A and B are shown apart, each in its own frame.
Chain A
Amino acid sequence: LDAETYRHDAVAAVEGAENATELDEARVRYLGRKSELKQALREVRDRETGMALNAAREAIEEALTKRQAVLERAELDRALTEDIVDVTLPGDELPLGSLHPITQVRRIVEDAFLGLGYEVRDDREVETVEYNFDKLAFAPTHPSRSHRDTFFFDDTHVLRTETSPSQIHALEEREPPIYMVSLGRVYRRDAITATRYPIFHQFEGLAVDRGLTLADLKGTLLHVMRALYGPERRVRFRTHFFPFTEPSIEPDVSCGICGGKGCRTCKWSGWIEMGGAGMVDPRVFENVGVDPEDWTGFAFGCGLERAAQLRHDIPDIRVLWEGDLRALRQF
């Protein structure tokens, strides 16, 4: 038997096999027990012939293995092209809930202030008149002290009307410098309407350091407003009055619906009110034993409902309080 010719014919047959049956036929014919090669191997007498025949056998086995892999791969490809799903059908239903829009804006605000190096805190909601009003330098005739505007439990205990008592708590707990933002529920004696709810959320910021200015307040609020509403927003200040800040201002953010040209959302002014702010009144510092000649500070408070409503274009504040899954699942 000429080993080289045999190998050549065998490899050609293997490589020409078009399917598993043909490949098997080639294997039986060239490597089977009754194949010429096996017979020749049985009859081999000299080392040289044996080596030549074994080399041919190995080459044929290798070709078989390779061809088999090619055919299997082709068979798999063919089978897979027939195994088709409708990819547009829905997948298995897995549970996924959602965070309330107020929680979402709360995190945005927290993260923005963390980025500015502020600590995040919350304080009690039931406050004493001392912390809610007196230490914040509310005049005895300030309308918020009225039982018509504020929820009282008795003459000295109220549901906090803003997050501002956090300023006092923070100032009493540690020496300046202080950079903190406080978030939580506040309460006012308003009837429930599309724009007001007697329970709502605020974030309150306080910075106390050496040499802080109104310009630092403006830059800080710009950063936070852009974190909430996008990088193209602008911020302006309007004068205002709060007992615990002097000067006091109200920050406006440019309207995102009309870009500042004027529309229904911004009542055709191009600006949207965001809350209250100002430089900490020296009286507040005196009330907590901080020297106002040494330290200055700024403070601000804004509503989280308003932020959630603006971000998501929610026209009615009650949507945020009714727990209706048809509304909440959207967020």
Chain B
Amino acid sequence: MRVPVNWLRDYVPLEMPLDDLATRLSISSAEVEGIERRGVPDRDGNLGRFLVGRVVEAVKHPNADRLQLCRVDVGDEEPLQIVCGAWNFGPGATVAVALPGAVLPGGLELERRKVRGELSNGMILAEDEVELGPDHTGIMVLDDSWEPGTPLVDVLPIVDDVLHVEATGNRPDLLSVYGLAREVAAIYDLELAPPPGVEPTLGVLESEPVDVEIEDPVGCPRYIGRLFRDVQIGPSALWLKARLVAAGMRPISNVVDATNYAMLALGNPLHAFDFATLRGGRIVVRRARPGEKLRTLDGVVRDLTPDDLMIADAERSVALAGIMGGEETEIDDSTTEVLLEAANFEPFTIFRSSERLRLRTEGSNRWEKGVDPYLAQQAATLATQLIVELAGARWVGHTDVHGELPERPVIGYRPEQADRLIGVETPADDQHELLGRLGFDVDDGRVVTPTWRARDVTREVDVIEEVARFRLEDVPFTLPERSAMFGSLTRGQQLRRRVEDALVGLGFVETYTPSLLPDEETPWKLEEPISVELTALRTRLLPSLVEAARRNAEVGERGIALFEIARVYLQGDELPDERLHVAGIMEGGFGAVKGVVETLHAALKAELEVERAEDPLLHPGKAAWTPAGVFGELHPGVLEGTWSAFELDLEELFQRSREPVIYEDVITYPAVKQDLAFAVDDDVPAGELVAAAREAAGPELYDIVPFDVYHGEQVGPGRKSIAFRVEFRSPDRTLTDEEAAGLRQKIVDALRERFGAELRA
């Protein structure tokens, strides 16, 4: 909320520097996100060049039909000649004048200059020129009681500071200038003025009946209706417009501005109806009827449901309660009778409609947070005063319909409990004094919450917060006294770091890509995505990495190798099955990625099992499956050039890890190492030969690794030779040559039998 400081001063004396005020409010009440200086620049005596003037003479400019040539008394001996383009004034008018040398809010510096041949010594000001309002149809005409030469800053808020205050959701009372003033008074222990608004006397001897019926007392606990006649709609007084503009609202007309002013001052949103348009002259607060529609003030036709709380007349809905008025009952220039609504609406009812209709307004924003139902009375009073004073209206009728209004919460309170939770001592007397300044009544171990905090402060811990927020800077820095410690990573967390570090060591750069994809075959699709790119939860990481690689290639990067560790979201039951994957993409062919996958397994002390596989992203002849996932060369249709990629499930990978490794004695009894080469048919995978050899030779075959594949004349067409490095060993003795030869023979026999393999060496 934008809080003009000049307005705030109406309710609390501000003598502290604004920076200090902003800091202390931020720490104890609501964050001040900035202080905006607005209006006329206040430097180099600039304010002294803005004065009250009285028009002594005003005639048509001799050389221009649209201009007036004026002589204006600004308190000096000689009146100043000023050329003016406005015609809404004449001799005798009291006006605002900027002298030559004056700098306007936009930075424009006025000069003494000739306009169509006549000297102009400055400018007669319109409200928009000093940021007091939006109007530029005429100049500002001031009250005649001001003497010429009076500094304009004494008359109009031509310079102001605006605090940008971000109140938290539990403090709707701070969405008002008066509410903030109350907080300032409590922080600095200052005297707070009574709330604004003095009830005018009724304009008739006896109040006319105002016909208000509440059908839904839960949605609308209170409705004050007030009737006005002889209303003269017109622009608001300058001071009021200036405050609305400074607070960020657009002035509309005196009656509408009066309701907005009362809302900003006190925090209770109000509405004004053109009474003549209300059929049957009555107000009914009810739920919308099925199929009912309403054209709201923004011109949109709203389809309503029985969940929506409506303000209706005898026949139809005329406003979305608490959110926005209807177009047909809007105040306009011809309005002469006004029905003022100062009501109270239940938060969830408003939230639900605002949410369904995607319509957030100043009103709904306050109602959703819970407005004090006692506040409606004061808001009605302030708005009534303004409508009577500013629109010349007669107040003729009043009604206040409500059931039992909520009692103020009474809370058992132990000041020492605050000390225990805050960790710093605050004497009980100080706590009580502070709570008193915030409007709490304190007596005998009990605290009674003020009405404007009744939703937020209902428990002892809530009262403790009230004390704590004024002690935050005194809270010391301590650490918990511990009876239990948990400071270690799980095995999975340790191995995840190892995977990350191994990949970095292999040259991969880690990247993060979004969890959402444009589309995916998954039931986990967002109801309302913010863009087509981020629509469905991904079931694998590789498509995102392919895109990242493509973008890098497009900007000319070389040696691209990217990896990511993130979740994928498989179908699951009530919730998706979220699994942590590691995926990588790199330049290079199948051998490159297989080396990476092997090294990753080696780093984790995990066995790698591999079979041929199919995958839409991978080359059909160069794709492999392992229990943890897939890897292979990218399908050339996916990305130009030779690329390869892998995607593995970390949990599967970690399950296969032998960490912590169990030590084997391979030193006491030496191994027998041999190379064996076999000729086999081309289509026999090396992995099957290895598996068969292990099966045949048993555990004394310690290791067998293919190290060379040869095609050529010596093995003949359709055949290949594969060479293996073989290591035999026993854990409890040195193998004899005969034993080694026996093991070797078992392998040779098994491979010949199963694959027709011939031993070549």
Contacts and interface: CB of A to CB of B under 8 A. Distances in A.
Given A128-B575, A322-B551, A97 B421 contact: no
A220 interface: yes
9 contacts: A97-B506, A97-B561, A117-B486, A124-B578, A142-B169, A192-B531, A207-B480, A247-B421, A325-B509
Interface in A101-117: 102-103, 107, 110, 113-117
Contact of B480 (A127, A209, A240): A209
Interface in A231-274: 235-241, 246-250, 267
B472 A236 contact: yes
Please indicate which of the listed interface residues B350, B490, B524, B530 has the most CB atoms of chain A within 10 Å of its own CB: B530
A114 B509 contact: no
B524 A114 contact: no
A272 to B, nearest CB: 13
Contacts of B348: 140-141
B126 interface: no
Contact of A246 (B423, B465, B497, B578): B465
B434 to A, nearest CB: 13
A199 interface: yes
B707 interface: no
A21 interface: no
A143 interface: yes
Contacts of B525: 153
Interface string B333-367: 00000000000000110110001001000000000
Interface string A116-143: 1111100011111000000000011111
Contacts of A250: 31
Interface in B556-585: 557, 560-563, 566-567, 569, 574-576, 578
The 5 closest A-B pairs by CB, nearest first: A95-B507, A215-B423, A213-B423, A323-B548, A241-B168
A238 B31 contact: yes
Given A214-B422, A215-B478, A120 B26 contact: no
B537 A126 contact: yes
Size class of the contact patch on chain B:
35 or more
B482 A237 contact: no
A209 B482 contact: yes
A209 to B, nearest CB: 6
Contacts of B526: 151-153, 159
B480 A212 contact: yes
Contacts of B489: 110, 114, 120
B31 A247 contact: no
Contacts of A321: 512-514
Interface stretch (B57-65, B456-464, B617-625): B456-464
B504 interface: yes
A144 B747 CA distance: 68
A198 interface: yes
Interface stretch (A7-15, A57-65, A177-185): A177-185
A97 B468 contact: no
A88 interface: no
Given A140-B348, A211-B420, A213-B478, A114 B488 contact: yes
A161 to B, nearest CB: 13
A235 B34 CA distance: 20
B484 A211 contact: no
A86 interface: no
Please indicate which of the listed interface residues A152, A187, A191, A216 has the most CB atoms of chain B within 10 Å of its own CB: A216
Interface in A168-200: 177, 179-180, 185, 187, 189-192, 198-199
B384 to A, nearest CB: 30
Interface in B677-727: none
B534 interface: yes
Interface of A: 94-100, 102-103, 107, 110, 113-120, 124-128, 139-143, 146-148, 151-154, 157, 159, 177, 179-180, 185, 187, 189-192, 198-199, 207, 209-216, 218-220, 222-223, 235-241, 246-250, 267, 279, 281-282, 296, 320-326, 328-329
Contacts of A152: 526-528
B358 A213 contact: no
B318 interface: no
A119 B487 contact: yes
A97 to B, nearest CB: 4
Contacts of A214: 421-424, 468, 475
A216 B34 CA distance: 30
Interface string B508-546: 111111111000000011111111001001000000010
Contact of B569 (A115, A126, A222): A126
Contacts of A159: 526
Interface in B420-436: 420-424
A216 B512 contact: no
Given A98-B504, A140-B351, A325-B560, A239 B28 contact: yes
A324 B358 CA distance: 37
A55 to B, nearest CB: 47
Contacts of A97: 503-510, 561, 563
B478 A238 contact: no
Contact of B555 (A146, A207, A326): A326
Interface in B562-615: 562-563, 566-567, 569, 574-576, 578
A323 B27 contact: no
A329 B509 contact: yes
Given A103-B510, A141-B368, A147-B527, A118 B486 contact: yes
B483 interface: yes
Contacts of A199: 514-516, 534
A218 B471 CA distance: 13
B42 to A, nearest CB: 19
Contact of B497 (A107, A180, A220): A107
Contact of A180 (B369, B480, B486): B486
B405 interface: no
Contacts of B567: 125, 185
Given A151-B526, A247-B465, A296 B421 contact: yes
B345 to A, nearest CB: 11
Contacts of B421: 213-214, 247, 279, 296
A115 B515 contact: no
A329 to B, nearest CB: 6
A264 to B, nearest CB: 13
A126 B575 contact: yes
A92 B252 CA distance: 75
Given A237-B27, A239-B28, A328 B509 contact: yes
Interface string B224-251: 0000000000000000000000000000
Contacts of A248: 168, 465
A248 B477 CA distance: 17
B461 A99 contact: no
Contacts of A209: 480, 482-483
A107 to B, nearest CB: 7
Contact of A125 (B29, B487, B515, B555): B515
B745 interface: no
Contacts of A107: 497
A222 B476 CA distance: 11
Contacts of B551: 322-324
A241 B169 contact: yes
Interface string B21-36: 0000011111101100
Given A96-B504, A118-B486, A279-B421, A326 B514 contact: no
Nearest to A177: B484
Given A97-B506, A120-B493, A126-B575, A148 B486 contact: no
Given A97-B508, A209-B480, A322-B551, A238 B530 contact: no
A202 to B, nearest CB: 14
Contacts of B534: 198-199
